[in-house]
């Protein structure tokens, strides 16, 4: 069974509802530019890139050569891919529908 780590609250619901109202990439860039720092947006984008690379079967070393993240970050993302709530897999399948992700590497 999936586990959900983010505690539901009115504030969290409002945040996610706000994200769901965004209609295109330009609106996403505008909203996230106001909401987060450049470093925070970059960190989120890097995590998505690591998740995609893991799902494609890349090794930790290969990922570290491509993305400036620590081994512990890769491990944390790999753990979420394997045992998390399924969010990474859901999004990866939607934005890369023609790719069949493999089981993440150890």
Instruction: Tell me if 1 is assigned to some domain.
Output: no
Split into its structural domains, the chain has a count of 1
47 located within any domain: yes
What's this model's pTM, rounded to 2 decimal places?
Answer: 0.84
Buried-exposed string 34-67: b where 16+ CB fall within 10 A, e elsewhere: eeeeeeeeeeeeebeebbbbbbbebebeebbeeb
pLDDT tens digits, one per residue of 27-71: 999 999 999 999 999 999 999 999 999 999 999 999 999 999 999
Q: Which domain holds residue 55?
A: 10-95
**R_g over Cα of the chain:** 15
Report if residue 30 sits inside a domain. Answer: yes
Question: How far is residue 81's CA from residue 48's CA, in Å, rounded to a whole number?
Answer: 11
How far is the C-alpha of 39 from the C-alpha of 23, rounded, in Å?
24
- CATH number of the domain encompassing residue 62: 1.10.1270.10
């Amino acid at each position: 069974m999936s586990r959900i780590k983010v505690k539901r609250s009115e504030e969290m619901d409002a945040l996610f509802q706000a994200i769901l109202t965004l209609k295109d990439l330009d609106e996403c860039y505008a909203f996230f530019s106001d909401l987060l720092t450049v470093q925070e947006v970059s960190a989120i984008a890097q995590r998505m890139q690591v998740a995609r690379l893991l799902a494609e079967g890349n090794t930790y070393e290969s990922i570290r050569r491509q993305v400036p993240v620590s081994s512990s970050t890769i491990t944390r993302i790999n753990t979420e891919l394997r045992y998390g709530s399924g969010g990474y897999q859901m999004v990866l399948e939607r934005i890369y529908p023609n790719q069949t992700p493999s089981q993440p590497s150890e």
